[in-house]
Amino acid sequence: MNHPAHGPGVGKPLDYDAVNISHEVDRCVSAETGSVMPLFTVTLRSGRTVIEKDAISAAIHDASVSVGYPEDDYFHRFISLEEADFRINPRYPDLPKPRSENVLMIEAVLSSGTAEDKKRSLLSAIVAHLQTAGTDPNDVMVFFSEIDRVNSSFGGGRRAQPVDVRPD
């Protein structure tokens, strides 16, 4: 599957200047399902390869699409930190085994009002898809936060517009 951030070859970035993506034109307002994003930040230890990051990104994207987020709603940021700058208790809270060096701290910013069941579904899908991609579920930490769409812009100085979401 080609992901929006890549062309036909994995690791080959799209030429965004050649792609016309207009969220304001292609999406419409829905009072029932207007909560969309998400924006993911993945914090991990330095030293992971581009191929590993591509696999992590693909797994997170596939998870979000599987719970109803649009295919083109693809915003991932990776922060790589040295061990001295990424300190995590290896067993909190009562994990059956310690986390490995491949631990991922994932922050998902969702639109305000995202239902708890949607968050649970997304969490479950993220863990399952990352496990399929080779990440131990024990190494996956996920934190959700919410933001009103009027407090964000996806570019051009335009406020983010509500969009339709496919039901679970």
CATH number at residue 56: 3.30.429.10
What is the enclosing helix (H) or strand (E) of 144?
strand 140-147
Distance in Å from the first CA to the final CA of the chain: 21
Please tell me the predicted confidence (pLDDT) of residue 122: 97
- Per the domain annotation, does 5 fall within a domain? no
d(CA 118, CA 69): 10
Please tell me the predicted confidence (pLDDT) of residue 154: 67
Contacts 24+ apart (CB under 8 A), 128-131: 128/63, 129/59, 129/60, 129/62, 129/63, 129/66, 130/56, 130/59, 130/60, 130/63, 130/104
- Per the domain annotation, does 93 fall within a domain? yes
For 74, the domain range is 16-159
100-120: average pLDDT: 95
- Per the domain annotation, does 4 fall within a domain? no
Cβ atoms of 38 and 73 within 8 Å: the answer is yes
- Per the domain annotation, does 150 fall within a domain? yes
Q: What is the pLDDT of residues 77-108, one digit of tens each?
A: 999 999 999 999 999 999 999 999 999 999 99
In 10 A of CB 120, how many CB atoms? 11
| 3-state class (DSSP) for residue 126 | helix
| 53 backbone dihedrals φ, ψ, rounded to 5° | -65, -40
- Per the domain annotation, does 50 fall within a domain? yes
- Per the domain annotation, does 2 fall within a domain? no
How many domains does one find in the chain?
1
Q: In what order do the strands lie in the sheet with 140-147?
A: 76-81, 39-45, 104-111, 140-147
In the chain, what are the helix, strand and coil shares in percent, each to the nearest 5? 30, 20, 50
Tell me the average pLDDT of the chain.
79
- Per the domain annotation, does 10 fall within a domain? no
Cβ atoms of 43 and 105 within 8 Å: the answer is yes
d(CA 57, CA 44): 12
- Per the domain annotation, does 166 fall within a domain? no
Cβ atoms of 156 and 55 within 8 Å: the answer is no
- Grade residue 6 by pLDDT with cuts at 50, 70 and 90: very low
